[in-house]
């Protein structure tokens, strides 16, 4: 903005409106309206009349590298130069040149609109499992809504799975995956909205007969499958969704492909004090009676709340991590 115009704006309240040109009056009106909130989905984000999006839950990304506490090493990779989608790979400290380890494909939580594969919460979730379970993990940093409306997050996550599958013949672009992943032991996981994505992809693998890779199982931690009432934020993030129980992504009970889920076993984890607990249990019961031929397990942490394992280290977090590790490594 030119300096004279900026000075006029700074002193605008002291200048009689009759002396101001119409263009300045219009500019002030626009500025006043720019702070008007059109959609308030706190504590996730607010949308202003001028199109700005203000997130309340923003954490700085951590650099990749060696975690001195666990010995886990991480690196970042670009999955798609076109979309800019990246991922972070976590590998345990001791990996021999000929070792093939299970792979945990992770999708972070955050209501599809906040979160990152690169911040401390993802590190907190994955590094203990990678270290204790001697597995490799990769977290897909799908694009966030509302800048990228759903189903873009699902599409990015599927593209990430296809990128991973491109390494199953040992000829993919990432040596860590080529050299160290047992592609007969690939698991999908996520917490909250990320668990929703993991479930959806597992169903698509089976329903579409996709042979890119064999899924051994899914691990859903405190999964988000909507609410009893219509979810207005989800309707905003996904204009094609009703935000209610007739959306199969929010209510798998109405998905005709649920029984085709493309893996052998599933683990559903809930927390006693989680506001999503009952929906998670309902999902477990629905899957168990859907005709799906796999085995589904239910695990509840008493006395804890939603995604507690990402925020604190405690005995309950250790127990949940052990359950996940055992699920991946035991036949």
Please identify which of the residues 141, 156, 247, 274 carries the catalytic annotation. 274
CA 81/CA 119 separation, integer angstroms: 21
Helix (H, G, I), strand (E, B), or coil: what is residue 224?
coil
- 39 catalytic residue (yes or no): no
Strands 136-141 and 86-91, bridge-based pairing = antiparallel
With b for 16 or more beta-carbon neighbours within 10 A and e for fewer, the 180-217 pattern comes to bbebebbbbbbbbbbbbbbbbbbbbbbbeebebbebbb
- 180 catalytic residue (yes or no): no
Please identify which of the residues 74, 168, 192, 290 carries the catalytic annotation. 192
CA 92/CA 81 separation, integer angstroms: 27
- 306 catalytic residue (yes or no): yes
58: Cβ–Cβ under 8 A, 6 or more apart, which residues? Answer: 114
The owner of tokens 């008493």 is 302
Please identify which of the residues 199, 222, 234, 306 carries the catalytic annotation. 306
Could you list the active site residues? 192, 274, 306
């Amino acid at each position: 903005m030119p300096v004279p115009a900026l000075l006029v704006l700074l002193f605008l309240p002291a200048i009689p409106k009759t002396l101001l040109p119409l263009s300045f009056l219009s500019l002030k009106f626009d500025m006043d309206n720019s702070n008007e909130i059109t959609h308030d989905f706190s504590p996730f984000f607010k949308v202003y009349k001028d199109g700005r999006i203000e997130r309340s839950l923003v954490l700085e990304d951590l650099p990749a590298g060696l975690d001195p506490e666990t010995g886990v090493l991480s690196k970042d990779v670009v999955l798609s130069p076109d979309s800019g989608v990246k991922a972070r790979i976590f590998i345990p400290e001791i990996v021999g040149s000929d070792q093939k380890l299970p792979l945990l494909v992770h999708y972070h939580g955050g209501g599809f609109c906040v979160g990152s594969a690169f911040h401390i919460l993802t590190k907190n979730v994955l590094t203990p499992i990678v270290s204790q379970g001697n597995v490799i993990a990769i977290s897909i940093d799908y694009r966030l809504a509302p800048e990228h409306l759903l189903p873009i997050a699902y599409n990015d996550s599927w593209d990430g799975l296809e990128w991973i599958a491109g390494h199953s013949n040992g000829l993919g672009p990432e040596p860590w995956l080529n050299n160290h992943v047992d592609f007969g032991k690939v698991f999908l996981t996520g917490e909250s909205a990320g668990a929703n994505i993991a479930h959806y992809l597992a169903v698509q693998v089976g329903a579409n007969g996709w042979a890119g890779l064999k899924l051994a199982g899914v691990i859903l931690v405190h999964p988000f499958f909507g609410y009893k009432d219509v979810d207005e934020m989800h309707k905003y993030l996904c204009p094609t969704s009703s935000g209610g129980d007739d959306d199969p992504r929010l209510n798998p009970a109405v998905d005709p492909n649920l029984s085709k889920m493309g893996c052998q076993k599933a683990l559903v984890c809930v927390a006693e004090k989680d506001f999503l607990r009952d929906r998670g249990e309902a999902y477990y019961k629905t899957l168990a009676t859907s005709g799906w031929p796999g085995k589904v397990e239910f695990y509840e942490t008493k006395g804890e709340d939603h995604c507690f394992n990402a925020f604190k280290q405690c005995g309950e977090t250790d127990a949940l991590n052990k359950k996940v590790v055992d699920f991946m490594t035991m036949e």
